[in-house]
Amino acid sequence: MSESFLIAGATLPDGSRADLLIEDGTVVELGASVSATDATRVDADGLIALPGLVDLHTHLREPGYEQSETVLTGTRAAAAGGYTAVFAMANTSPVSDTAGVVEQVLSLGEAAGYATVRPIGAVTVGLGGEQLAELGAMAASRAQVRVFSDDGFCVSDPMLMRRALEYVKAFDGVIAQHAQEPRLTQGAQMNEGVLSGELGLAGWPAVAEESIIARDVLLAEHVGSRLHVCHVSTAGSVEVIRWAKSRGIRVTAEVTPHHLLLTEDLVRGYDARYKVNPPLRTRDDVEALREALVDGTIDIVATDHAPHPVEAKDTEWDAAANGMVGLESALSVVHAALVADGRLDWADVARVMSSKPAEIGSLAGYADGLVVGAPANLTLYDPEASRSFSTEDLAGKGVNSPYLGLELPGRVLHTFHQGRRTVADGTVVDVAEVARA
Ligand SMILES: NC(=O)N[C@@H](CC(=O)O)C(=O)O
């Protein structure tokens, strides 16, 4: 029998107060005053109980790039951020483009024990953009892949994109597109605009993203399939997606925490921690993205957690790798960007960071949130805490966080994955040691 927990006096996303009893990996009781003598008591007075967060866009780097992250370290980072499930991007080495590789990633996640790891399959062989990968075999594998993406690269060939969209209909899969017209972004280094001219960095125009999204929503409509747009970053993209949704096209979209908070002005110091794909944009873009998340045009927040070794970032701008870590900071950044001023409440956060990403990725167990009978995946968050974000807050291998030294609100204090505690009092638990005990 696994350890039982009585979470006492938590505030649920709807604002009500309740005790939760967790036994055998399940929420077995939820109410005003639950008693259980043999359960470990967790005092949750003043803490928000959120359903375990689900990240539809995580780079776990294993197999192949273990110097950046492993499934173990990446899921520790996830737990630290309140996540209990992550979808692992396919740009590994070998690429996750076969049943064998996705099953390997799945097994590594199960062995680590910190979060459910759902592998994302590549759309094209080797992310090469030329030949469709074995989408059906990955879907039928033990990993049950439903999300396919060449993230890092755009599926730029419209015929391949059409075929991929058609193919995944058979098992209600979804193509998650990294929308970046490659010809319009050759050598691009930062958002194209007045500032890129001033800084002497090659521009990355908004239209490179918007034109692909426009094409893809039309393709999705044409074949009646499901499209998901990764890391939307411009106001124009929001308008295209709003139009597509108004036509009933089956499109969903994500925004990253960093695109909700940070702007291109940070590039002024040429500090490559701010180098990311897609690039940080303007204040107007940030405002449009916030509005879109609030009105539902953008469905979810996804981190695009992209760890890199220090040497890949600690170099001149042009040579540095794109990407930021994001799992550990995501909830605090969403809090700062949209909860602090009341535009999102905690029920909205539960939707955009848990139930909706699970729905898009066909992940069971998150649809109803924290209810009796649901798997005990949850996080306890202290909304009154605040901290200067530091490397101490990072639990994965990557230290390429854009928030180091910034004051961020809130703090994840406890995370439970399938009834097991993965974070206790703000510290990641050694789950292997607990299992041995
Ligand atoms: N988002 C990023 O800036 N980086 C991603 C891939 C990519 O989109 O370039 C990575 O894998 O590092």
Tokens 């609100």 sit on residue: 409
- Closest of 384, 356, 386, 380 to residue 368, by C-alpha: 356
Q: Which of 33-42, 131-140, 163-172, 239-248 has the lowest mean pLDDT?
A: 33-42
Tell me if 414 is assigned to a ligand binding site: no
- Ligand 1: residues with CB < 6 A are 59, 91, 151-152, 178, 276-277, 304, 306, 322-323
- Nearest atom in ligand 1 to 307's CA: 12
Q: Where are the beta strands (DSSP E) in 99-242?
A: 116-119, 147-148, 174-177, 190-191, 203-204, 227-229
Mean pLDDT of 105-132: 98
Tell me if 91 is assigned to a ligand binding site: yes
> The whole model's pTM is what?
0.98
Tokens 């696994």 sit on residue: 2
**Ligand 1 mutation target, pool 127, 151, 230, most atoms within 8 A of CB:** 151
- Token pair listed for 15: 């604002």
Instruction: Determine the Cα–Cα distance for residues 78 and 316; give it in Å rounded to an integer.
Output: 29
Contacts with 121 (C-beta within 8 Å, 6 or more apart), sequence order: 90, 96, 97, 102, 133, 135, 138, 139, 145, 147, 148, 149
**Ligand 1 mutation target, pool 273, 304, 401, most atoms within 8 A of CB:** 304
19 given a catalytic annotation: no
ipTM for this model: 0.96
Instruction: State pLDDT tens for residues 228-246.
Output: 999 999 999 999 999 999 9
Give the model's pLDDT for residue 80: 98
What percent of the chain is predicted at pLDDT more than 90?
97
Helix axes 158-168, 206-223, angle to 10 degrees: 50
DSSP state of 338: I
Instruction: State pLDDT tens for residues 420-435.
Output: 999 999 999 999 888 7
pLDDT band at 437 (very low <50, low <70, confident <90, very high): confident
Residue 258 alpha carbon to ligand 1 centre in Å:
13
Give the model's pLDDT for residue 140: 98
- Closest of 288, 265, 281 to residue 192, by C-alpha: 281
Residue 369 alpha carbon to ligand 1 centre in Å:
30
Q: 3-state DSSP call for residue 417?
A: strand
Mean pLDDT of 396-415: 98
Give the model's pLDDT for residue 37: 84
Tell me if 417 is assigned to a ligand binding site: no
Give the model's pLDDT for residue 21: 98
Check whether 1 has a pLDDT greater than 70: no
- Token pair listed for 425: 């009092």
Average pLDDT of every residue of the chain: 97
Instruction: State pLDDT tens for residues 274-329.
Output: 999 999 999 999 999 999 999 999 999 999 999 999 999 999 999 999 999 999 99
- Token pair listed for 55: 């990240």
Mean pLDDT of 68-90: 98
Residue 271 alpha carbon to ligand 1 centre in Å:
17
Tokens 């040497």 sit on residue: 311
Instruction: Determine the Cα–Cα distance for residues 369 and 346; give it in Å rounded to an integer.
Output: 12
- Closest of 333, 331, 304, 334 to residue 400, by C-alpha: 304
Pairing, β 378-388 against β 48-51: antiparallel
Give the model's pLDDT for residue 432: 85
Check whether 436 has a pLDDT greater than 80: no
Tell me if 304 is assigned to a ligand binding site: yes
Helix axes 235-246, 206-223, angle to 10 degrees: 10
